[in-house]
Homo-oligomer: A and B are copies of this chain.
């Protein structure tokens, strides 16, 4: 592993978690034709301190210039690259229920590089249906499909009971990462990526703060 790669690997998860927020605000600025921005101005927008921002971006090579600030487009492109948004990932959705459909219909999805190939469900009444021209297929055919099409990502909208077993089958077939909406901690090998979306837990947190 090269030195620069090593450095990258050591970036804390907390910093990584802040990058999407930079990305969102930079996209906004670009849309408004803002060409450059100081770390101070950026700080007011995103709510992190200017020194925090400089530190964060230094982690990735630092693109600011003393007395000029950041070139918005350059920074946007860099953050986009850091996030891997210039890459394409072959993606399937497991479960064609309400959540699976909502995700399939979600526009921001493919612009982030996730190319949706198919949805899978075991309910016969759903099989063959098309959502945005993408077919709902029989879960029974999932393994062959993943192998033949080199599917890399699975979005899990399955119930808790089946999510772990299906995840294992998908990994066996070649899936490298999961966007997991199932309310379960998937147990996977170290080289498999899981990004959880915990809607339930978010709702409980809201409930907690409302009560206080």
Which residues of B are found within 8 Å of A207, using beta-carbon distances?
Answer: 83-85, 87, 89, 112-114
Contact assessment for A84 and B210 in the assembled complex, using a CB-CB cutoff below 8 Å: yes
Which residues of B are found within 8 Å of A206, using beta-carbon distances?
Answer: 153, 177, 179, 193, 195
6 residue pairs, one from A and one from B, having the closest CB atoms? A84-B211, A20-B201, A195-B206, A102-B102, A98-B102, A20-B204
Binary CB contact string for chain A from 155 to 182 against chain B (1 if under 8 A, 0 otherwise): 0000000000000000000001101000
Number of copies: 2
Which residues of B are found within 8 Å of A32, using beta-carbon distances?
Answer: none
Query: Which residue of chain B lies nearest to A108 when distances are taken between CB atoms in the complex?
Result: B200
Using CB atoms and an 8 Å cutoff, list the residues of chain A in contact with chain B: 8-9, 16-17, 19-21, 23-24, 47, 82-85, 87, 89, 97-99, 101-102, 105-106, 108-109, 112-114, 152-153, 176-177, 179, 183, 185, 193, 195, 197-212
Contact assessment for B106 and A199 in the assembled complex, using a CB-CB cutoff below 8 Å: yes
Contact assessment for B209 and A193 in the assembled complex, using a CB-CB cutoff below 8 Å: yes
Which residues of B are found within 8 Å of A105, using beta-carbon distances?
Answer: 97-98
Q: Report the bound CA distance from A197 to B198 in whole Å.
A: 9
Which residues of B are found within 8 Å of A109, using beta-carbon distances?
Answer: 203
Which residues of B are found within 8 Å of A198, using beta-carbon distances?
Answer: 20
Contact assessment for A205 and B99 in the assembled complex, using a CB-CB cutoff below 8 Å: no
Query: When A106-B199, A177-B210 are in contact, do A20 and B99 touch as well, CB less than 8 Å?
Result: no
Query: Which residue of chain B lies nearest to A114 when distances are taken between CB atoms in the complex?
Result: B203
21 contacting pairs across A/B (C-beta < 8 A): A16-B205, A16-B209, A17-B201, A20-B198, A20-B200, A83-B211, A84-B211, A84-B212, A85-B207, A98-B101, A99-B106, A101-B102, A106-B199, A108-B183, A112-B203, A112-B204, A153-B206, A177-B210, A179-B206, A193-B209, A195-B209
